[in-house]
Amino acid sequence: MTGRPDSPDQLNLTLDNPRAERIKKVAALTGRSARSRAGALLVEGPQSVREAVRFAPDRVRDLYVSTEALARHRDIVAAALDAGRWVHLGTGEVLDAMSRDAQGILAVVDETGVSLDDVLAGSPRLVAVLSNVRDPGNAGTVIRAADAAGADAVILAGECVDPSNPKVVRSSAGSLFHLPVVRALPLVDAVAELQGAGLRVLAADGSGTVTLGEPGADPQALATPTAWVLGNEAWGLSADERGLADEVVRIPIYGRAESLNLATAASVCLYASATAQRLQ
């Protein structure tokens, strides 16, 4: 069969050589340089592939599924075929050669460039800004938290991890395809543009003089369009970075924990703003 099949039942096994050139090219997308050359990213696992097919079908170049995974994920394959995407059936060995983390299903998806101007044109009310966050798992989890809180965008500022890193994609659990993610802006430029668009910029840091949710904090202030700036998972925000914000806010610690991890702190801050905005 040379054309696209109409249903999962019509798929033929076409990939059975794990050393084939196509397989090597897909596997190479774990590397940043290969992703840059191809203009594509690797999406691994049923949750992320499902969201890519559902929310960004036009970006899906190819979907690969093993004979074993096809039975478990017929809904994903059927949706991809309905969207006119190419689906390739391979052996489990072939899928493992492409990715050990794919659970038998993966997709190659076009990269897209989203600018901060694009985001600001939509009059955002809630934005997460990550400064120099290096760990892909942390970045992906914050993207997921921002999506869950109803944020309008995530901005990766400074020396942040590449959002097309497969670990970022996996950790976002498909949220990467739900909201714009802007990359590689200097923090000072990002903050200036956000403030110029009317957003109040809050830096989340333990040194803050205002405590989130406690007396002295104005709950109505969170109801305004807000951008939360969160720093590196190891050293947080520098004094210069904190100085860019309109206010530095600390999250109260009521127990004995020394601090909160990045993703938890982001969730607390974003949900505080999201709740205030919905109650106004």
- Do 148 and 102 sit in the same domain of this protein? no
| Gap between the Cα atoms of 87 and 169, Å rounded | 20
Range of the domain at 192: 116-279
* Same domain assignment for residues 144 and 260: yes
> What's the structural domain count of the chain?
2
Reported as a pLDDT band with limits 50, 70 and 90, residue 1 is very low
pLDDT at 146 over 50: yes
Residue 1 located in a structural domain: no
Give the pLDDT confidence of 199-255 residue by residue, as tens digits: 999 999 988 888 898 755 566 678 899 999 999 888 889 999 999 999 999 999 999
Residue 123 has pLDDT above 90, yes or no: yes
* Residue 53 CA neighbour count, 13 Å, CB half: 28
Residues 190 and 262 in one domain: yes
Whichever domain contains 19, its CATH number is 3.30.1330.30
Report the alpha-carbon distance of residue 86 to residue 63 in Å, rounded. Answer: 6
3 domain residue, yes or no = no
Instruction: Check whether residue 265 and residue 182 sit in a common domain.
Output: yes
Do 98 and 81 fall into the same domain? yes
Region 127-153: mean pLDDT is 96
pTM for the complete prediction?
Answer: 0.93
Q: How far apart are CA 216 and CA 42, in angstroms?
A: 47
